[in-house]
Each structure stands twice: as structure tokens, then as C-alpha cells.
Structure 1
Amino acid sequence: MKKLSSLAVLSLMAMSTMFVSCSGDDDNGGGSSDDDGGDENTIVVSENITQDAIWETGKTYVLAGRIAVVSGAHLEIQPGVVVKGEMGEGADASALIIARGATIDAEGEPNLPIIFTSVGDEITPEQVASGDFSSPNLSSTTSGLWGGLIVLGNARISASAETVGIEGIPASDPNGLYGGTNDTESSGTLRYISIRYSGTDIGEGNEIQGLTLGGVGSGTVVENIEIVGSADDGIEWFGGKVNVTNVVVWNCGDDGIDTDQSWSGTLNNFAVIGAQGHAFELDGPEGSSDYGPHTIQNGFIKMSTSDFTTQDIINTDENSNVNLSNLYFTDLVEGQIINRIDAANVSFNNIYLNTTADDLINRIPEGSSVPSWLHAGTTYTFNGSSLNWTWAAQANQF
């Protein structure tokens, strides 16, 4: 995890005390009240959401810990809402969990995205509405200030049991369970969302990603997503069949894209910029179940920036089951390779490295010949127009 300076930490702690609870409508769900005259547009959510709730445009919602939308409940988040997680580690870490059987409709707009961030971030709904999507007082390299966004469903996973607990949530919390048999289930919609500064420590080697998708079915819509400054992975899939489209992962502390437990959906049209771990950590199924390949296509990957250098180009294991196509890697440095090019269930098609033809031999395992699907040069053009709404685009990252 990237550490903040002592001065920055003290400053952020001071800012976290500025938020007060205030009264809200009954449909805000989980909000506590305070009659002392707090900001009526800031609502502290301190309890699980057990009935249908609406979080309204123009307001900021503060997660006072680990908040779950429980089975049977529905949360609607309107465009331009800012959701801020209080700071804390371990059992005190804040996160928003969409439990199995619950649904979320968080539908931002290109000119009015929904922002998930930390209370240490001074961004406001008014700033978002003005068209400025940057965090005004925090760098894109800041990380680990709160948990993250977790969506859990009833789709199939390859794990030790049909249903297991998600990484980053205590095993004692039943709202952390995921997995089942319904591959077409819908957990709702996530659209035009920016998730920032997630990944606080829950325990040793146990952090929450920017966006975690556990056993999520194909009926769920996930598109136009930005992850900035996650201390762990940008997005991680644990099984399920959900498709994800139009994604930016910028300055994450571990892997840009991480796949596990036989996820069998598609990631299409995305950018990974400055991941400190692997650009891709593509693990094979666990146990004896394999529900088919997942597909990763049409991506732009910046392998080094002024902030971070990524470990390797593509990382798979011996039983990874994945189709990779139309991926363009730029800003490579010495030692970055595709770690395995002959795995039986890994399919490569049109992998472009912005380097010389002579250098391609240095980007594959020693003793291998350069395959026909690996190309040098800049013949591939990434279409980033669908991602122009993001902070990363406003900061000219692609």
C-alpha cells in the first residue's frame, strides 16, 4: 500500500471530522439524524440498508463503516451523488456491499458521474456538476483511505464450495457471501462511476479492490467505470458471468485487472495506466470446476508512468482459461514480459507492443520464438472517446 506522509495523514484525519449526520427523507436508508444544524445535504449512513432507498442528486452520503444493502433491498444512486467512506482499517474499514439478493441502480451520466471516494477528499456534488471531476486536494497516487465497492451475486464460481465469503470482508458477516447457480441474475446497474482511494487494510494481505465483483450474473450492467488510486487491484472478478465495458484503472497499488474462480464474462474497451503489480493477473479456476473462458479485448495499457512501473505485460498461470485480443502496450521498460505464451487454454490475438521488432524477443519467455500474434510498433489505435468523461481523461492520461 502506498503510504501517506504524516502531515497528509493528520490533514485527512482532521477533514474526516468535518462531516456531521443530518436528517434525511425516509427513502435515504441507513441515515442517522442530528438536530444540531448540520449540512442538510450531507447524510451519514451508519446502518445497513434493509429497505428500498434513494440517494439523491446534489447530496453527499458518508459511509460510517461497512454498509450492506441486504438481500431484498434496492439502492438507487442518482447522477452526481458523492459517496465518501470514513477512514479506518480492519473491522472499522468502510465499504459499500451489495449483498446477494440485493440490487443497486447507480446510474451516473457522462456530465454528472457518481463519485465514490474518501472523506478526506474535498470533492463536492457542486464541483462535479460544474464539469470538474478531479479530486481537488488529493493526488491520483493517494490510496488506501477506505474500503471500496463490492457487488455480490448468485452466479457460479469455482471455489471450495458453491457459496463462499468474499475477500476483504470478515467471515462472520453473512452479507459477504457470494456464489450460487444463477448465471443470468441481475444485481442491477453501475454506469458512469468513479471509485477513488480504496483498498484500506482489512488484515494481512486482505484488502478490498476498487470494484469487487463476486459471483455476479450476466444480467448486471457494469459500464463506464473509473478506478483511481486503489491500494489493491483496480477490478477483481471472482467467478460469475457479468460483462464489463468502458473502464479506466489509474494508479493502482497491485494488479490493474485480476480474474479468479472461473469468471466467464467479457471485459471490453478499457485502459490500465500505471498499475504497480501486474497489468493482468489472470488466474485459472480453483478446484475441479471450469465454467469456460473469459475474454479481455480492446485495451490500452501504459506500462510505466512518472509514478509507477508495472511488473509484467501479461501474467497467467498453468490453467488460466482466457481469450486476449487487441491489446496495446506502451511505455515499456526493461524486464517487462509476457510470462507464458504456450498455456493450453490461453488464446492470444493481436497483442501490440510499442517497441521495436528486435525487442519482441526480450518480451517473451527465454527460448521461445516470437509468435505471429505479437506485433511491434504503433499500428493499433485505442479508441478512448467513450472514456472522455473520466478524471483520467481530464488529466490527459490516454
Structure 2
Amino acid sequence: MKKFLLGLAVISSLFTGCSSDDSNPVQQPVEGNITGIIANDTIFAYGNYTLEGIVKINSGVTVTFDKGSTITCDKETGDNALVVLKGGKLIINGTASEPVVFTEASSVPGSWGGIIMYGDAPIKAAGGVTTATSEDGNNQSYGGTNAQHNGGALHYVRVEYAGAKLADGSKENNAFTFYSVGSETTLDHLVAYKGADDGFEFFGGTVSATNLISYGNYDDAFDWQDGWQGQNNSNWYAYQTVKGNYGMEIESSSNNNAFFPKVINVTLIRAAGTTPEIPGAIESDAFLFKKEGNGDFNNVVIRGYGDYTEGGVTYPGAAVRIFDATTNTNQVNGSKIKLTNLNISGTSSNILGATPAIVVGFPAGNFTTSTTATGANIDNGNWTTVGSTNLLQ
């Protein structure tokens, strides 16, 4: 009788271990490897995956990741990155409570190439050319005439410890890199965490991005060139700590464009003691405009971009720095740089030229301050937390 009762108890425990609602059983993560060229539409169900090598999504192919998945690579195996080739699509269905995380086993910044996407939206690269070749080691052509290019939809995605060079690339990659990506692509609720280069970089294109967090990246929090012209950007948040350059490095590849991007609701914070990536570099400003860089920014909070001292030398910091005389003449004086409703604190100067010869004077209404500007408005959740760290300081 005792054996019979024990058997019933075991069977009972098996059933009670399931959800009380058998139509909603607890989903177990799958495991698998992701490698090589993905040549067919693929859905990666909720799971823990290992990304091996430079994984490329072919033109005409859609790859989807389900919410809650974790994708890990290992720098010891060589170069790693997730690349969306021109014509391919990446769909990531993360949520606030179950983001999709791309990370690296060593947790060391600069250990892999991050997510790289190519499109055929318009660019204007150096010399005014409308196509160019990427410098990221993939040597891909980017640029075209398809302003509505659609590279997919990225929702609630965190990329950690990126910023590596790939193959013989001439520059480091970022957490997220977008080459001529178009306006039908969705970029929403993305985190760039502790990379060795920029958090987000745009090479031309027309894509816009909302609810971005750049945390602890060694170079710039946000960076663009080649005539990027996204018009519907909002809620960008940067926290630079320990090592970091500009909050935003803005250039247009020396082209005096008739267009400029627009970003509203921005918070840029530089923690005390943060120094530039290269010792002695004067790269500690919230906004840097150079090579005809421009843009329209409204409702901005800037904190902590003051002077810093290193090796007995004090270097000046500013809310806004204009790097060269041409940018000052064409973009500042030409009203193509607009910074309105700036709430500035902990910063030595509001506006500086890179040299005393560059005297910056914004036309009336193009540079305004406000003590009530609120900056980025981003909701907390699992997607904004790494370990015990809340990224929204």
C-alpha cells in the first residue's frame, strides 16, 4: 500500500509541476548554433544560441528572433558579428520584460562586431558620391535611391561588449551600425552596452530611431556621417562613464546638405571622472559638429560635460563645440544647426569653437536654453537593466 501511495504522489507531483492552465505550459528555451550565411527564411524560437563567426542574412531572406532569447558569441573563436546584407531583413520581437540580448562570453568591451545592417537608401559620402564601400571589414557597397528601404524591425534589443574590428577593416564596429538604412525599417527600444566604439552609428540613410540607450561606450554615444537624414527620432539617452568621447559626434562628410536629421527628447550625461578614450584628446563635449554636420534638436538635457584634468593639463568641455570654420559658416550661420530648449548643468561652457579663431554665434532662436527641459522619456523595465545596474541613471 505504501508503494502504491508513493506512486500516486509522484504522478501527482508531475501534474502539479505544470501550469494550472494546461493551455499555457511553461516554455523551455531551445539551444542551438547560428553560423555562416543564412539563405532561407528562419525563425529562431525563444532560446539560448551561440553565434559563431560573421553570420550574414542574404538578400531576400527574413530572420526572426523570438522574445527573451539570448545570443552569445566568443571572441576566442575569431571574428563574430550579425550582418544584414542589402535586401535582407532582421525581425527581433523583444519586449520590455523579455528583451533579446546579444552578448559576448568574456564581457570585455570590443569583443565582437555587433549588429550591422546595409540598405540602399540615399547617402552623400565624402566627395558627394551616392554609393560607398563599408570600412568595417565586410567591404559592402551601400547607398542608393530607395529612401523607403526596409531592413526589418528591431524591438527591445540589447547589444553588449561590441566594438571590434572585423577582418582587415580600417575601423572598429559599433554596437549597432546602419549603412544607408531606409525609413521603412523600425528601430525601437535598443540598448548599446559597454562597447569599445560608438553605441549607434548611421552612415547616411533615412531611417529613424526611437527609445535608444547608449551606456558606457568608449567612443561616442551617437555618431553619424554620409548625410544621414532621419526625421522622426525621439527619446535618446546616453550615459558615459569611465571612458568616453562625445555624447554626439555629428558630421556630413564635408557636404553642405540642404537636409538635416531631427531628434527630440535627448539626455546626455557624462559621469564624474570620465575621460576620453585616448588620453589628452579634447573629446569631452556633449555635441560636436564637424565636416558640415548639422541637425535639429529639441528638449535636451546635458549634464556633466565640464573641463577635465589629465596629466596636470586641464582640457575644456562644452555643451556644443564647432570643430571647423566651414561648419560654422555654412551650418551655424546658415541655420542648419538648431538646438532649442537645452537644460545644461555641470558644463564649463555652453558653446565653444575648436580654436579661438572659430567664433560661434547662433542666429536668433537657433540656440536656446530652458531649465524645464526634460530630455528623454524612457520607461524602465527588464530591458533597461543589466545585472543589478539600472541603465537609466
Q: What range is the shorter-chain TM-score in?
A: 0.7 to 0.9
**CA spacing shift, 1:86–1:383, aligned 2, 3 Å:** same
Is the counterpart of residue 324 in structure 1 residue 297 in structure 2? yes
Tell me the residue number matched to 1:165. 133
Tell me the residue number matched to 2:30. 41
**SS of alignment partner, residue 364 of structure 1:** strand
**CA spacing shift, 1:383–1:319, aligned 2, 3 Å:** closer
Q: 1:150 & 1:287 partners in 2: Cα distance?
A: 24
Per mean C-alpha deviation after superposition, the further-off stretch among 199-208 and 63-72 is 199-208
**Larger strand percent:** 2
Contact 1:82 1:115 in 2 (8 A): yes
**CA spacing shift, 1:221–1:349, aligned 2, 3 Å:** same
Contact 1:225 1:246 in 2 (8 A): yes
| 1:355 Cα deviation after fit | 4.3
Q: 2:272 & 2:64 partners in 1: Cα distance?
A: 37
Question: Runs of 5+ in structure 2 lacking a partner?
Answer: 1-28, 277-282, 308-315, 323-327
Match of 1:197 among 161, 164, 175: 161
Q: TM-score scaled by structure 1?
A: 0.75
Is the counterpart of residue 225 in structure 1 residue 213 in structure 2? no
Question: Runs of 5+ in structure 1 lacking a partner?
Answer: 1-39, 121-137
**CA spacing shift, 1:109–1:347, aligned 2, 3 Å:** same
Give the aligned residue type for 2:82.
L
Alignment map for 1:305-384 (pairs within 5 Å): 305=272, 308=275, 311-334=284-307, 335-337=316-318, 338-340=320-322, 342-344=332-334, 345-355=336-346, 360=349, 363-365=351-353, 373-375=367-369, 378-384=371-377
**CA spacing shift, 1:228–1:292, aligned 2, 3 Å:** same
Q: TM-score scaled by structure 2?
A: 0.76
Give the aligned residue type for 1:47.
G
Tell me the residue number matched to 1:239. 204
Count of residues paired in the alignment: 328
Q: 2:369 & 2:255 partners in 1: Cα distance?
A: 35
Contact 1:283 1:317 in 2 (8 A): yes
Match of 2:62 among 63, 74, 82: 74
Contact 2:136 2:169 in 1 (8 A): no
Alignment map for 1:1-398 (pairs within 5 Å): 41-57=30-46, 59-87=47-75, 92-120=78-106, 138=107, 142-159=108-125, 161-171=129-139, 176-202=140-166, 203=168, 206-266=171-231, 267-274=233-240, 276-285=244-253, 290=257, 292-305=259-272, 308=275, 311-334=284-307, 335-337=316-318, 338-340=320-322, 342-344=332-334, 345-355=336-346, 360=349, 363-365=351-353, 373-375=367-369, 378-388=371-381, 389-391=383-385, 394-395=389-390, 397-398=392-393
Contact 2:265 2:377 in 1 (8 A): no
| 1:385 Cα deviation after fit | 3.7
**SS of alignment partner, residue 162 of structure 1:** coil
**CA spacing shift, 1:395–1:75, aligned 2, 3 Å:** same
Give the aligned residue type for 1:215.
S
**SS of alignment partner, residue 349 of structure 1:** strand
Contact 1:304 1:333 in 2 (8 A): no
Contact 1:167 1:208 in 2 (8 A): no
Q: 1:204 & 1:51 partners in 2: Cα distance?
A: 28
Q: 1:60 & 1:257 partners in 2: Cα distance?
A: 29
Q: 1:81 & 1:343 partners in 2: Cα distance?
A: 49
**SS of alignment partner, residue 180 of structure 1:** coil
Contact 2:150 2:184 in 1 (8 A): yes
Q: 1:396 & 1:103 partners in 2: Cα distance?
A: 29
Per mean C-alpha deviation after superposition, the further-off stretch among 226-235 and 316-325 is 316-325
The structure whose Rg is larger is 2
| 1:395 Cα deviation after fit | 2.1
Identity among equivalent positions (%) equals 22
